[in-house]
Amino acid sequence: MNKSSTLDQIPEKMTLRRQLIRLVLLAGFTYLGFCLMLAFLQRKLIYVPRAAPVLLAESGYPEERIREIVLSVDDGLNLYGWYCLPDTGKAPASPRLALIFPGNGGNRLNRVRILELVNDLGCAALIVDYRGYGGSHGAPSEEAIATDCRKVWGFATGELGFSNDQIIVFGQSLGGGVATRLVWELCQENQAPAGLVLQATFTSLVDAAQHRFPWLPVNLLLVDRYPSINRIPDITCPLLMLHGRQDEIVPLQLGERLFAVAPEVSANGIQKRFVELPDAGHNDIYHVALDDVIKAKREFLDSIQDASRGTD
């Protein structure tokens, strides 16, 4: 090869190098821009409410068994919910209340099946929509929801007249993080509820998001983190966890890791229990594994009742 042809190739190599650098920079800026967009919009991705107000008649409940709840929270906003009573033939001699914290989508109208199941187990049910859901005012965030949960707890133990040892806290998916935080706070104040039931929930929202978006730096981006794995070791009440093996949104492994760090036995001597639902995913548990769910929850409630009788 002569000298002139070698010199002719130099500009071509420099051009190719510049193009590669431009592509790398473009990809980097695109990725950074996408991350910034997700950081800015993250709460719209985490919380997916059906914001429209819900009428009592839409629930399908007999009017004598359901009551609309309106709670005024500290910043002057109103939250809306339902208080649902079991059929009188299914109510136990000692009243119990299920305090329900659902997942991130829809509103309380989408939880009627859960309310009915709880009532069939003999418990009254209280569900209050998060901010921005079902006609509730405001916008959801981890801290705002945590503050509102204390209002809901105060309503249950105040106006409704339930003692802490008559209340079972239910948390599903994102609501598992909400419920775990509430119960963690109550246990620190020696006001532990009768029990905690967690369904299809995670170690932390960071872990759940990392599973779904492994190519994103979610640990740096997320503001609302729901670190249940740091809180559940301090929970002193009885614990039941249920999780579908086919769950692709919150993998079974996250539920197992959360369960592993929970105390083996509650303060009143009840062994923690994990129920794996082999054929269930994340959103189809009540369709695929209803009998197993009912059995597990009934046994859990019975164990709480037996422990209560043993301390009387």
DSSP 132-182: TSTT--S---HHHHHHHHHHHHHHHHTTS---GGGEEEEEETHHHHHHHHH
Q: Write out pLDDT tens, residues 62-90.
A: 999 999 999 999 778 999 999 999 998 66
What is the rounded CA–CA span in Å between residue 131 and residue 133? 6
Of 17-21, 23-27, 302-306, where does mean pLDDT reach its minimum? 23-27
Structure tokens at 12: 């071509």
Structure tokens at 176: 């598992």
Q: Give the model's pLDDT for residue 287.
A: 95
Entry pTM = 0.90
Domain coordinates in residue numbering, the chain: 45-311
The domain made up of 45-311 is a member of CATH 3.40.50.1820: yes
Question: Starting at the edge strand that comes first in sequence, how are the strands of the sheet with 97-101 ordered?
Answer: 66-72, 78-84, 124-128, 97-101, 167-172, 195-199, 239-244, 273-277
Rounded to the nearest 10 degrees, the angle between the axes of helix 205-212 and helix 252-260 is 160
**CB-CB neighbours of 188 under 10 Å:** 13
In residues, how long is the chain? 312
- Looking up tokens 């695109």 gives 30
pLDDT band at 10; cut points 50, 70, 90: low
What is the rounded CA–CA span in Å between residue 243 and residue 233? 19
Q: Are 130 and 140 contacting, i.e. CB atoms less than 8 angstroms apart? A: yes
Closest CA to 81 of 170, 141, 152, 142: 152
What is the rounded CA–CA span in Å between residue 256 and residue 251? 9
pLDDT band at 22; cut points 50, 70, 90: confident
Q: Write out pLDDT tens, residues 115-135.
A: 999 999 999 999 999 999 999
Q: For residue 214, how far is the Cα from the chain centroid?
A: 21
